[in-house]
Amino acid sequence: MNESTEVLDLGPFFHGTKAQLAIGDLLEAQNPSNFQDKKSNYIYFTATLEAAKWGAELAATDSPERIYIVEPTGEFENDPNLTDKRFPGNPTRSYRSKEPLKIVAELASWERHSEEQINHMLDSLKSLREQGKAIIID
């Protein structure tokens, strides 16, 4: 976790998903991943609406997309899946934690990416999986 006293980000923080949750619920690690067929060791979140939209849109179920405003209940760290691999310096403001996130609100409306953009991203992710490159550091 964040081993210094440096504050990584003040938020607000978002979690994009297709899970139906209620205000006050806790999002916790060790639940099924939105993106892999396994339980995740972390709960992932972001401080940008753009990244939260992708999280909701790409989650692997047919349920409605949702974006929740969340508060970390403990320490968190930069998400190495993005900051180490694709976006050094964490411009997506993406984080993960082993501590729960508390849902404080749900965004009532937000603008989705176009179907073309979503399908392009899904095709890109499929290609990475087929090449064995869709590895999530978890």
Domains and CATH numbers, the chain: 13-130 (3.20.170.40)
**pLDDT range class, residue 2, cuts 50, 70, 90:** very low
**Phi, psi torsion values for 134, nearest 5 degrees:** -95, 55
Of the candidates 63, 62, 73, which has an alpha carbon nearest to the alpha carbon of residue 25?
73
Asked whether 19 and 76 are in contact (CB, 8 A), the reply is no
Q: How much is the pTM?
A: 0.81
Asked whether 113 and 52 are in contact (CB, 8 A), the reply is no
Q: Which helix (H) or strand (E) holds 45?
A: strand 43-46
> Mean pLDDT for the chain?
83
The mean pLDDT value for 31-55 works out to: 81
Of the candidates 114, 136, 115, which has an alpha carbon nearest to the alpha carbon of residue 125?
136
